[in-house]
Chain A
């Protein structure tokens, strides 16, 4: 719950509400990913982290 509050306040401060639907979809997808327990591969590439 606190995460959502902080996320909302982040989107408000950064004026990036248009990112909200994308983040919601990704969060929903993540539930599937966690349920499927797919391996998360950490790539070496610089900018992803």
Chain B
């Protein structure tokens, strides 16, 4: 049975195609259209999925959309009615959009698919199914996991009504056990602080998480006293007196601003200690809720395994805390935990729940995600053609060991390398398929990469890639973290103790003090967002770090996504080459082709790229 899963029309459109239990392909539309978190119908991602499967739409048995628009509309109407006359402005803006487009989603899908495939709407009609938003998340967390049974926790902003759910997955079935409903939402609470600290809602949340270690948790009591009532089982209620998202066009209102003593920080203005303290405080509260919910999930399911999905599951600091709480023997987190992953969940939900197919778990398999390398790859001919188009100067190195040694030497010399290999990743993290790499031992690397390569805020940390078997030598982590979704403390022996003066530093001043022998990936609180590299899912990247280890005696390198701020991660050789030429990267490696920056012809920019990518 071939099923196409879709997420679209909200943010981060994506398409996934599965054949029985195997994921054939998965990709986000933004990677093709080059518009970050593109929400349009994912035409290009669908076309890619169909071509990867080698079929036309006529061979697809079912198309499953990741949420149910009627129930969302019901939530909107009931919220407005409950709050009337507040929300009039929001109503006036939102309802025409719904009446004009979103309410007729099935018809829109039919039209788009008919246009894309040349089939008639009638032929496509019976193929289309809808899955509930949190059911899609739960399915994306459980079905690809390596567990026969598991507690499933989904946490996000909001789907139809649900914002948080606990479910139990066993075999091919998922039963939702508990739900928290809109407007009480952990994701929206976090987004409210993202908004208030001057970052963009829906994309700046990970900046808040990265900013948190610079601050002190001085607002925790205030948050718990005024904004949220947390129960012992992790359920919570928000005090809507302080929030505007249910009926207004902002996340927070004047009562919230008065509580914290000022209006929201203006975007791109200086980040002060106050924002850092707020970030730390909301992070502490979030972790407390995540752990309480996990504990309750354990109590009511009795399972020793936990699966996580939903946007909040990208909070890898919170995930690390759940891991260290030892509530569960095993944790598996969907790498595309946000809405893009809902497309995968929707497809799996139909396959297992609607059509009741048996679920098999292969003991040799890590999980069904194939390392999240589910996107397009490029042939040597394609790469050559692109590079020739730009008159690029390149070397083709077919001997893999020579290629890897060359890259390893460059990394050891402090060079920054663009690394474009194999299939593109599915989900928000670059995992060694479309990555920018650097030497984690270099104290100057974080600053260089932030300001000269990524053109982003200097406070933002970088993540380490480490050979799986060496992880415990560097980090207090003894489980695989292939998707960079667990934060762990750096091992004490490799930490550099702070001098008396350095210990007294506050906030952003902490940034320039090297904290360990791998300073480029050690955050100010001695933590790191670890990615373990495994031979089976990521062989070439594994061999590269092995080659680097041979030269440097260090099996950790910096891995950041191959893009500049506001740009979707690169997809094609053209994206990689242009990103390489626009930044101060030293070397680009696309499959077997090596390019050195100093050998390239002068690059003439054809567009104003700094305006092309809206800042995130």
Q: Which residues of A contact B (CB under 8 A)?
A: 3, 6-7, 10, 14, 16, 19, 22-23, 26-27, 29-30, 33-34, 38, 40-49
Contacts of B202 in A (CB 8 A): 46
Contacts of A49 in B (CB 8 A): 9-11, 39, 72, 102
B357 within 8 A of A: no
B249 and A43 contacting across the interface, CB-CB below 8 Å: yes
With A and B bound together, what is the CA distance between A18 and B474 in angstroms? 61
> Nearest residue in B to A27 (C-beta to C-beta)?
B99
B120 within 8 A of A: no
A36 to chain B, nearest CB (A): 10
B71 and A46 contacting across the interface, CB-CB below 8 Å: no
With A and B bound together, what is the CA distance between A14 and B191 in angstroms? 30
Name the interface residues of B232-270: CB closer than 8 Å to any CB of A: 245-246, 248-251
Cβ-defined partner of A47 (8 Å) among B102, B106, B182 = B182
With A and B bound together, what is the CA distance between A47 and B196 in angstroms? 17
Contacts of B104 in A (CB 8 A): 3
Contacts of A34 in B (CB 8 A): 100
Contacts of A6 in B (CB 8 A): 70, 106
Cβ-defined partner of B74 (8 Å) among A14, A27, A48 = A14
B20 within 8 A of A: no
Known: A14-B74, A19-B74. 7 other contacts (CB 8 A): A3-B103, A3-B107, A7-B70, A30-B96, A43-B94, A46-B245, A47-B158
A44 to chain B, nearest CB (A): 7
B76 and A48 contacting across the interface, CB-CB below 8 Å: yes
Name the interface residues of B151-184: CB closer than 8 Å to any CB of A: 157-158, 182-183
B90 within 8 A of A: yes
Name the interface residues of B24-45: CB closer than 8 Å to any CB of A: 39
Contacts of B101 in A (CB 8 A): 40
A47 and B245 contacting across the interface, CB-CB below 8 Å: yes
With A and B bound together, what is the CA distance between A18 and B285 in angstroms? 39
Name the interface residues of B320-344: CB closer than 8 Å to any CB of A: none
- Supposing A3-B104, A10-B70, A19-B74 touch, asked if A46 and B97 sit within 8 A by C-beta, the answer is no
Complex interface bits, B75-113 against A, C-beta within 8 A gives 1, otherwise 0: 011100100000000100111110111111011000000
> Nearest residue in A to B246 (C-beta to C-beta)?
A47
B188 to chain A, nearest CB (A): 6
Contacts of B10 in A (CB 8 A): 49
With A and B bound together, what is the CA distance between A44 and B616 in angstroms? 13
B125 to chain A, nearest CB (A): 9
B99 and A46 contacting across the interface, CB-CB below 8 Å: no
B99 and A47 contacting across the interface, CB-CB below 8 Å: no
With A and B bound together, what is the CA distance between A26 and B76 in angstroms? 13
A1 to chain B, nearest CB (A): 11
Cβ-defined partner of B93 (8 Å) among A10, A22, A43, A47 = A43
B70 and A46 contacting across the interface, CB-CB below 8 Å: no
The number of residues on chain B lying at the interface, defined by a beta carbon within 8 Å of a beta carbon of chain A, is 40
With A and B bound together, what is the CA distance between A42 and B106 in angstroms? 20
A12 to chain B, nearest CB (A): 12
Name the interface residues of B100-156: CB closer than 8 Å to any CB of A: 100-104, 106-107
A–B Cβ pairs within 8 angstroms, 10 of them: A3-B107, A22-B77, A30-B96, A33-B100, A40-B100, A44-B249, A45-B250, A46-B188, A47-B76, A47-B182
B74 and A47 contacting across the interface, CB-CB below 8 Å: no
Contacts of B158 in A (CB 8 A): 46-47
Dominant SS at the B interface?
A: helix
Cβ-defined partner of A45 (8 Å) among B70, B96, B245 = B245
Contacts of A42 in B (CB 8 A): 97
Cβ-defined partner of B90 (8 Å) among A3, A16, A27, A48 = A48
A47 and B95 contacting across the interface, CB-CB below 8 Å: no
B201 within 8 A of A: yes
> Nearest residue in B to A19 (C-beta to C-beta)?
B77
A26 and B191 contacting across the interface, CB-CB below 8 Å: no
With A and B bound together, what is the CA distance between A27 and B379 in angstroms? 51
B93 and A46 contacting across the interface, CB-CB below 8 Å: no
B99 and A33 contacting across the interface, CB-CB below 8 Å: yes
> Nearest residue in A to B76 (C-beta to C-beta)?
A48
Cβ-defined partner of A48 (8 Å) among B78, B93, B99 = B93
B74 and A45 contacting across the interface, CB-CB below 8 Å: no
B133 to chain A, nearest CB (A): 11
A4 to chain B, nearest CB (A): 11
A46 and B191 contacting across the interface, CB-CB below 8 Å: yes
With A and B bound together, what is the CA distance between A44 and B250 in angstroms? 9
B285 to chain A, nearest CB (A): 19
- Supposing A43-B94, A45-B250, A49-B9 touch, asked if A26 and B99 sit within 8 A by C-beta, the answer is yes
Contacts of A40 in B (CB 8 A): 96-97, 100-101
B9 and A46 contacting across the interface, CB-CB below 8 Å: no
Cβ-defined partner of B201 (8 Å) among A26, A29, A44 = A44
B202 to chain A, nearest CB (A): 7
B77 and A38 contacting across the interface, CB-CB below 8 Å: no
- Supposing A10-B70, A14-B71, A26-B99 touch, asked if A43 and B90 sit within 8 A by C-beta, the answer is yes
Contacts of B103 in A (CB 8 A): 3
With A and B bound together, what is the CA distance between A10 and B74 in angstroms? 10
A38 to chain B, nearest CB (A): 7
Complex interface bits, B308-327 against A, C-beta within 8 A gives 1, otherwise 0: 00000000000000000000
> Nearest residue in A to B79 (C-beta to C-beta)?
A47
Name the interface residues of B44-80: CB closer than 8 Å to any CB of A: 70-72, 74, 76-78
With A and B bound together, what is the CA distance between A6 and B90 in angstroms? 27
- Supposing A14-B71, A19-B74, A22-B77 touch, asked if A45 and B90 sit within 8 A by C-beta, the answer is yes
Contacts of A33 in B (CB 8 A): 96, 99-100
Contacts of B107 in A (CB 8 A): 3
With A and B bound together, what is the CA distance between A49 and B251 in angstroms? 14
B99 and A29 contacting across the interface, CB-CB below 8 Å: yes
With A and B bound together, what is the CA distance between A29 and B98 in angstroms? 12
